[in-house]
Structure 1
Amino acid sequence: MSSLNSRWKSNKPEFIVIYGRRRVGKSELIDRFLNKKRGLRLLAREEARELQLRRFSVEVADYFNDDFLRKTGFSDWDSFFEYLYQKSDERIIIAIDEFPYLVKEDNALPSILQSFWDLKLKETKIFLILCGSSVRMMESMVMEYNSPLYGRRTGQVLLRPLHFIHIYDYIKDIKKAVNYYSVYGGIPAYITSLNVSQSIEESITENIFRKDSYLFRDIEFVLRSELSEPRYYFSILLSISNGNHSQGLITNDTGLSKGIVNKYLSTLIDLDLVKRKVPATVSKRCHRGLYYIKDNLFLFWFRFAYPNIMLIERDLGDAAVKNQVMPYFSDYTGLRFEEIVEDIFLSVNGRDVLPFLFTGYGSWWHKGEEIDGIYYSDSEDKILFCEYKWQDNVQADILLQKLKEKSQKVSWKKENRTEYFCLVARSFDSQDRHTPAFKTSGKKEINNNTVLLDINDIEALCRKASE
């Protein structure tokens, strides 16, 4: 919003691309940006070109109170852009939402817009926004080199899901925020549709394990709208959700060829649904890369809902949640807790909370050994080793000793580095609580280079990040 408002005040012609996955808040962002400004948002649909032009004619005529346009309408896209050109001597926002639907019906549209932008619109005060939910199509239609519109945009916004600190700020209860974020992720439309006063078991039963709930079918809808062969992607996502993270394990589990798996994993990464992780401190080209589902609701749906579709369809969702979800929910949330802590550390990085400003981070694994989180600074030769446990009464002394032993197997600047250690848990054994937490008062010092963070400390960090 800050970026859009700044561009609006410049009074120069703008061609902004706003894109991101469905439900992430693109239309809401545009509507709030339009508030008290001159302009309108035109929502495209999957319908014939003539119907789209007719509907746009009515909406534009209503906005400009133009009876002649209301009677005649736009005959083609040339007349539509010519009309906008005539109205752009003053600052005005024209936002075309779900732009890919228009191109799908008329693939000449990008070339037509290119011509009008180059010859006319870029000399006006127009603030043009193209918006779309198909990340892949928006990039190929507007931003890639072979697109007619390549080089025309003046800015872009890839809208991503909210961070954990925002979900906590909305729910106001740290333990409940961890549970809800672990299931629903950071998609605003999902979170705001929930009754967060419910227990997580009640919420899952009502919002995912009911056949008439929109979240039950939304994952399928998103995949089918983005992908031409969803059955193969379903197989790959299901395999990853079941713990197969290497390309070899995914290939063996799905029965698909290595080439197909590699191709489809690349597409899922482009769609921001899957991420490839390599051990912290090593090159991104490392062959030890593993694949994880990035979106929490996708992961939860494939891990728990998809295998229980038959029970859900027969109105036995409550029994499925009780017997097939909740016995395993703590372990599931424990894995998501690792991502949550990482997200919190990223949110407070550089804010005088952590012992140093880290420039690299990630989990680490090698020959059967794993460390949940490593954060390091190349310029300061400092490194922080972390273990995360979504458990109560954790015995820190035993866990810390194991962490220090494993840290010696990380070769990064081993001869000339300053080491820090951190344990994060819901709570620790009472005898371990003498270890001070990260400072939130502006100081960087950590006594003995070791720190324990319990759930109260994590909550304090969330509040610090939101300041």
Structure 2
Amino acid sequence: MSTFIDRDRELSHLHERYRSDRAEFVVLYGRRRVGKSELIDQFLRTATGIHLVAREESKHLQLRRFSADLSAYFKDSFLQKTGFSDWDSFFEYLIQHADDRIVVAIDEFPYLIKEDPSLPSMLQDYWDRRLKETRIVLILSGSSISMMESATMEYGSPLFGRRTGQILLQPLRFIHVLEYLGDMKKAVEFYAVFGGTPAYIMAVDPERDIMKNIEEKVMREDSFLFRDVEFVLRAELVEPRYYFSILFSLAGGNHRIGLICNDTGLSKSVVNKYLSILIDLKLVHRRIPVTEGHRSRKGLYFLSDNLFDFWFSFVNPHLDMLERGNAPLVVDQYVRPQFARYVGKHFEEMVMDLLVHINGDGFLPFVFTRIGSWWHRGEEIDIVCLAENPHRILFCECKWQDGVDAAEVFAGLRRKAPLVSWHNDRRSEYFCVVARSFSRRAEGEGISLDLDDCAALMERGRRGRE
């Protein structure tokens, strides 16, 4: 199986920039492990250019490293002997070699800024006066989302308005992990644990079952995923203590501000502040009912990365046992008994992604324009799809269970449907249930999909797009 999953859209964007007739300045950023470096390398397989990787070291060593890389790429023995003395000589060298189309990708750009805060101003000067008249495709990449945004996109930055494009690289969608693994049940279980971060997905062994992967890839103290959540948080956050408390509370099912405050003992102002930072880092996201506007006060907060959710649910509470080599015991005593419930709370996200993927393929009763969850006063519906002119609404429940009675689920949906306040007097209503398997389908009452049906829809959609 390929070790590079999807990213067709992002590669297409980069190649479109590469084929343009002007200088391009692209900002590529996203969380650690999300695949930025691999995307650059894949792009450079069919584009002419060089991938420079910055390190957290002195300016002198940074320039020496870039000198060595560029001298090797251009076979320049003089540069190999002399090297760059400063950033001015580095930019002058790029200008001299950019008469023909060339990509220069500088990875982990924030490390360079951290060592030399004047670098964005220098780059702005060179771009405005000379680089933008060349044929260069300059890519600045970085894992520190806040620093990349502040250094390249915010109004006060010297580089504001200079970029010609930007790509915020997101984790892989469920449908792409499903295409990679090739088995629906396995994809659901693996995605619930490892999420869509490419480095995490590539760490798994698809030939072994999910429990063995959890034991060996997440819970063994010598596995890289065992400490990676802590590593990412400590690399991104100055004071991780409160963040750990909030993330642990979210993993425990506290999704409202008040519940998080009660659970952590932190004040509302502190929780709001730290949640805002976690949202900026793409580690937490806020959901609102699909029928509400973005200013709704009904927002709930969830962990954005499934591995973080799993780690705070099952690894962090048992670190002492795991550090003593008791991974098999923790899996048997704590993970296995709660695993179906844990997967179930993520299953609706995967079904939602599947529905988005097949929207417009003709399987659903209409093409929806909005999709999300709904809740109000203790009642909730996993997925609600909406379409305007005429008004149509689809209610869907997701059950990570075998032997589901679809008729019972449809009855529950019909009871809750009138509670969803959205054009109630002039809408057409449809119903759907997705489960591992059914004991009774209740044909004619709505759409019922088991895992085999979902796999067939994915395959039909793939063939239709070929």
Is 2:370 the counterpart of 1:360? yes
Point out 4+ residue stretches in structure 1 off by more than 4 angstroms.
Answer: none
Taking the aligned partners of 1:69 and 1:224, their CA distance within structure 2 comes to 38
- Quote the offset at 1:315 in angstroms: 0.3
Which segment drifts farther, 241-250 or 356-365? 356-365
Q: Which amino acid aligns with 2:358?
A: V
- Quote the offset at 1:434 in angstroms: 5.7
Taking the aligned partners of 1:171 and 1:139, their CA distance within structure 2 comes to 34
In structure 2, the partner of 1:452 is 448
Which segment drifts farther, 234-243 or 284-293? 284-293
In structure 1, the partner of 2:460 is 464
In structure 2, the partner of 1:269 is 279
> Is contact 1:274–1:293 with CA below 8 Å preserved after alignment?
yes
- Quote the offset at 1:399 in angstroms: 1.6
> Is contact 2:203–2:217 with CA below 8 Å preserved after alignment?
no
Taking the aligned partners of 2:309 and 2:64, their CA distance within structure 1 comes to 41
Select which of 277, 281, 289 maps to 2:291.
281
SS in 1 for 2:105: strand
Q: Which amino acid aligns with 1:433?
A: R
Which segment drifts farther, 340-349 or 350-359? 350-359
Select which of 206, 218, 221 maps to 1:196.
206
Is 2:414 the counterpart of 1:396? no
Taking the aligned partners of 1:305 and 1:329, their CA distance within structure 2 comes to 13
In structure 1, the partner of 2:335 is 325
User: What is the CA RMSD across the aligned residues, in angstroms?
Assistant: 1.1
In structure 2, the partner of 1:440 is none
Taking the aligned partners of 2:458 and 2:361, their CA distance within structure 1 comes to 12
Is 2:367 the counterpart of 1:371? no
Taking the aligned partners of 2:351 and 2:280, their CA distance within structure 1 comes to 25
Taking the aligned partners of 1:452 and 1:305, their CA distance within structure 2 comes to 35
TM-superposition CA deviations, 1:425-446 (whole Å, max 9, x none): 11111xx3362xxxxxxxxxxx
Q: Which amino acid aligns with 1:117?
A: W
374 and 36 in structure 1: CA distance in 2 versus 1, 3 angstrom threshold: closer
In structure 1, the partner of 2:72 is 62
TM-superposition CA deviations, 1:256-295 (whole Å, max 9, x none): 1111110111111111111111112111211111101111
> Is contact 1:281–1:361 with CA below 8 Å preserved after alignment?
no
In structure 2, the partner of 1:184 is 194
In structure 1, the partner of 2:116 is 106
Q: How does 1:46-445 map to 2 (within 5 A)?
A: 46-429=56-439, 432-433=440-441, 435=443
Is 2:12 the counterpart of 1:2? yes
> Is contact 1:360–1:377 with CA below 8 Å preserved after alignment?
yes
Taking the aligned partners of 1:159 and 1:353, their CA distance within structure 2 comes to 30
TM-superposition CA deviations, 1:28-48 (whole Å, max 9, x none): 111111114321000000001
> Is contact 1:42–1:56 with CA below 8 Å preserved after alignment?
yes
- Quote the offset at 1:137 in angstroms: 1.1
Q: Which amino acid aligns with 2:369?
A: T
- Quote the offset at 1:167 in angstroms: 1.0
Taking the aligned partners of 1:409 and 1:53, their CA distance within structure 2 comes to 63
Taking the aligned partners of 1:294 and 1:343, their CA distance within structure 2 comes to 14
Q: Which amino acid aligns with 1:50?
A: H
> Is contact 1:15–1:155 with CA below 8 Å preserved after alignment?
yes
In structure 2, the partner of 1:11 is 21
Taking the aligned partners of 2:276 and 2:456, their CA distance within structure 1 comes to 38
Taking the aligned partners of 1:351 and 1:147, their CA distance within structure 2 comes to 44
Show structure 2 runs of 5+ residues with no match: 1-10
Which segment drifts farther, 393-402 or 324-333? 393-402
In structure 1, the partner of 2:5 is none
Taking the aligned partners of 1:171 and 1:30, their CA distance within structure 2 comes to 24
TM-superposition CA deviations, 1:291-327 (whole Å, max 9, x none): 0111100100001111011011000011011101110
- Quote the offset at 1:341 in angstroms: 0.4
Q: Percent identity?
A: 56
- Quote the offset at 1:351 in angstroms: 2.4
Taking the aligned partners of 2:413 and 2:151, their CA distance within structure 1 comes to 48
SS in 2 for 1:306: helix
Show structure 1 runs of 5+ residues with no match: 436-446
What is the number of residues matched between the two proteins?
Answer: 453
Taking the aligned partners of 1:37 and 1:422, their CA distance within structure 2 comes to 46
- Quote the offset at 1:389 in angstroms: 0.5
TM-score, structure 1 as length reference:
0.95
- Quote the offset at 1:464 in angstroms: 3.4
Q: Which amino acid aligns with 2:229?
A: I
- Quote the offset at 1:156 in angstroms: 0.8
SS in 2 for 1:408: helix
Q: Which amino acid aligns with 2:115?
A: E
Q: Which amino acid aligns with 1:264?
A: Y
TM-score, structure 2 as length reference:
0.95
> Is contact 2:405–2:441 with CA below 8 Å preserved after alignment?
no
- Quote the offset at 1:11 in angstroms: 2.9
- Quote the offset at 1:50 in angstroms: 0.7
Taking the aligned partners of 2:43 and 2:52, their CA distance within structure 1 comes to 14
SS in 1 for 2:117: coil
Taking the aligned partners of 1:217 and 1:23, their CA distance within structure 2 comes to 14
Taking the aligned partners of 2:249 and 2:340, their CA distance within structure 1 comes to 21
